[in-house]
Amino acid sequence: MKKTLIYGGIICLFIILWMLFFYRFWPFVTGSNAPAFLGTTFEMSLPEAQRALKKNGIQLVNYTKFTSIDQEISKKNPFMKDLFKPLFAKDKFSEGETQLWYMPSINMFKSQVVAEFTFKKNRLTFVQVRMFPVSNPSHVVKLVTNELTSKYKLLQKETSKDISGAYTLKFKNNLSSIDFWINLTDLNNPIISLFISYNKNVSQVEMEHKKREKRAF
């Protein structure tokens, strides 16, 4: 009887640990302290990112569900997939290394906002955000720029060589970088996008330098 209880307890403990690991609850969380978008952080697993967004009442869904929820926005090719075919190559997905998940539209900055989250080896590595203004596009750009400037350092304004009048504002902090792409040449179809990436390699190098300095004397 005792052995049965012990074995049962071990099996229950194993199941609990497996579920904590699979859904990335403590102590198996993987998120870093580098902010990504709407409460998510880089290196989060998919379940962690979904939980973080859910706290704000936001879903993170697959592409099929995204297109069924946001049919009109999906027709506008919000993430410019035709321009980035290599990223969506079939062989990368067959290996299970890269997964794309989507945030259906929410209202922010006087716009309808959608986002694409890129996970590599089940870790959040990149976020693309697209904004569809419901008011003056220039005002939307100003609102977003002011918010970014309060949290990131504006490095430079890069004028597009291909599209007259379009430009990118490059923002950065110690852990994250944001390229804010603005194309208002056609006010009936403005393109306002954010490309948010993780400065992982830079951060790791800086940490190594600090460790080396501490061991110097």
Mark whether 23 and 71 lie in a shared domain.
no
Longest Cα separation, the chain: 80
Q: What is the pLDDT of residues 70-126, one digit of tens each?
A: 888 888 878 866 444 334 333 334 345 889 999 999 999 999 999 999 999 889 999
Mark whether 21 and 57 lie in a shared domain.
no
Q: What is the pLDDT of residues 127-143, one digit of tens each?
A: 999 999 998 999 999 99
Domain count, the chain: 2
Mark whether 23 and 89 lie in a shared domain.
no
111-120 and 153-159 beta bridge pairing = unpaired
Interior angle at CA 165, CA 102 and CA 115, nearest 5 = 5
Q: What is the pLDDT of residues 99-114, one digit of tens each?
A: 999 999 999 999 999 9
* Type and span of the H or E element at 68: helix 63-69
Mark whether 194 and 89 lie in a shared domain.
yes
Mark whether 113 and 7 lie in a shared domain.
no
Number of helices (H) and strands (E), helices first, in the chain? 7, 7
Name which residue leads in pLDDT, 212 or 27: 212
* pTM value surpassing 0.75: no
Mark whether 61 and 85 lie in a shared domain.
yes
Note if the bond before 133 is cis, omega within 30 degrees: no
The pLDDT mean for the chain works out to: 79
Buried b (16+ CB within 10 A) or exposed e, 61-94: beeeebeeebeebbeeebbeeeeeeeeeeeeeee
Mark whether 62 and 148 lie in a shared domain.
yes
Mark whether 87 and 191 lie in a shared domain.
yes
Mark whether 139 and 59 lie in a shared domain.
yes
Which structural domain range is residue 102 located in? Answer: 31-214
| Extended strands (E) in the chain | 98-108, 111-120, 123-133, 153-159, 167-172, 176-183, 191-198
Closest by CA position to 47, among listed 159, 113, 115, 124? 124
Record the tokens describing residue 46, joined without a space: 């998919």
